[in-house]
């Protein structure tokens, strides 16, 4: 078999959540505009109100830990309970004011690796990460 093959290696995107670093292997972002409708007298539908809903970001990946996953689990649980807000960059997008809505952990036999799925809510508008120079941002 002749030909040129390109080796594709999986990438991970580090996301800082407080004192933890999450290594995202994949992510999904959902945005929605909600419409309220009301029927008119003659049966026509009218849009009476509309608003942009918070974005939902689902991160699939892992945490790395040294001895016990308890530190990671307790930090995630605390973030949900205390409504901790996070700011981070992911693939040239800046998320700020995000809060952890859910987490799913499934420990495997891999040493020091904790597979996890995080669901975050981003109520604020997203922005693009700009390159910073010595004098400020460009």
Residue 7 lies in a domain: no
26 located within any domain: yes
Helix, strand, or coil (residue 9): coil
> What is the domain range of residue 108?
13-130
Does some domain include residue 102?
yes
Decide if 137 is inside a domain.
Answer: no
Q: Taking Cα atoms as reference points, which of 90, 106, 109 lies closest to residue 98? A: 90
CB burial readout 67-84, b (16+ within 10 A) else e = eeeeebbebbeebeeeee
Total number of domains constituting the chain: 1
Task: List the CATH number of the domain containing 55.
Answer: 2.40.30.200
Within a domain: 135: no
Total residues found in the chain within this entry: 138
Kindly report, residue by residue over 81-137, the tens digit of the pLDDT: 999 999 999 988 999 999 999 999 987 766 778 899 999 999 888 889 887 633 443
Global pTM value:
0.76
């Amino acid at each position: 078999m002749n030909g040129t093959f390109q080796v594709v290696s999986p990438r991970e995107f580090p996301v800082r959540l407080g004192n933890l670093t999450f290594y995202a292997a994949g992510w999904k972002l959902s945005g929605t505009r909600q419409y309220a409708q009301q029927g008119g007298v003659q049966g026509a539908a009218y849009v009476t109100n509309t608003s942009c809903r918070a974005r939902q970001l689902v991160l699939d990946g892992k945490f790395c830990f040294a001895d016990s996953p308890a530190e990671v689990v307790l930090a995630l649980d605390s973030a949900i309970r205390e409504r901790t807000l996070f700011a981070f960059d992911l693939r040239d997008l800046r998320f700020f004011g995000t809060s952890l809505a859910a987490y799913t952990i499934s420990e495997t036999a891999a040493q020091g690796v904790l597979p996890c799925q995080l669901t975050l809510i981003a109520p604020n508008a997203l922005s693009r990460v700009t390159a910073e120079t010595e004098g400020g941002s460009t």
